[in-house]
Amino acid sequence: MATTLAFDVYGTLIDTQGISQKLYDIMGDLSIGFAYSWREKQLEYAFRRGLMRCYQNFATCTAQALDYTDQLFATNISTTDKKTLLNAYETLPAFADVTESLITAEKAGFRLFAFSNGSESAVEKLLQSAGIRSYFEGVISVDSLKTFKPNPDVYQYFLEKTNSQVENSWLVSCNSFDVIGAISVGMKGAWLQRNPKALFDTWAVTPTLTVKYLPKLPELILS
């Protein structure tokens, strides 16, 4: 059976810092810190909603995190500018190495899926805008389960939806919580260390492999 690769989307394939220029146009030098805090709060809200079983989709988490970060930085972003930023979040760019990586993985015979906290429609739009949708056999969203990664149910759901065997399936993500979540249900986990200063969570779980340059992933899996 062919090996299945489940690619996380936001931060792994799609550059969430691609919003920085629009933020800079609004708030100048505060934009870098703002973008980082917005992303961190977005993930925090998803974690909290998953734990509380108080589900709202990822787009709502993103919008509420923007409101919080606006208050935190006292930037007083207008309603119009907030709408502009949220619209821009729907069409963020892919990282420069992504297309090459997906072509290489496809040629190596892997089954490729996008696997995201985002809703299916949002991820479809994002991948189409980034020009990489055609490389994926499908898009699997946690939205159907009304919860978020790293709930173990979402990884089981991925396996069922893609008709994949757990021992032949890899989760590829720059987020250590996502890699740990996948490994905890028996999948293999490839941690993409895009930032050389990034640390993997100091739990008693380690990635099956660590990759620093995404196009090398197929070679590392097959070696």
4-14+92-222 folds as Rossmann fold (3.40.50)
pLDDT digits (tens, 9 = 90+) for 7-33: 999 999 999 989 999 999 999 999 999
Report angle CA 156, 43, 7 to the nearest 5 degrees: 45
Q: Is the model's pLDDT at 136 over the cut of 80?
A: yes
- The residue written with tokens 């792994």 in the block is 12
Cite the residue boundaries of each domain of the chain with CATH code 1.10.150.240: 16-89
> Catalytic amino acids?
8
Which class is domain 16-89?
A: mainly alpha
* Span 40-50, average pLDDT: 97
Domain with CATH 3.40.50.1000 in the chain: 4-14+92-222
How far apart (Å, rounded) are the C-alpha atoms in residues 34 and 20? 9
pTM over 0.85? The answer is yes
Q: What is the pLDDT of residues 56-95, one digit of tens each?
A: 999 999 999 999 999 999 999 999 999 999 999 999 999 9
Identify any residues that bridge with 94 across adjacent strands, giving them in sequence order: 14
Q: How many CB atoms lie within 10 A of CB 209?
A: 17
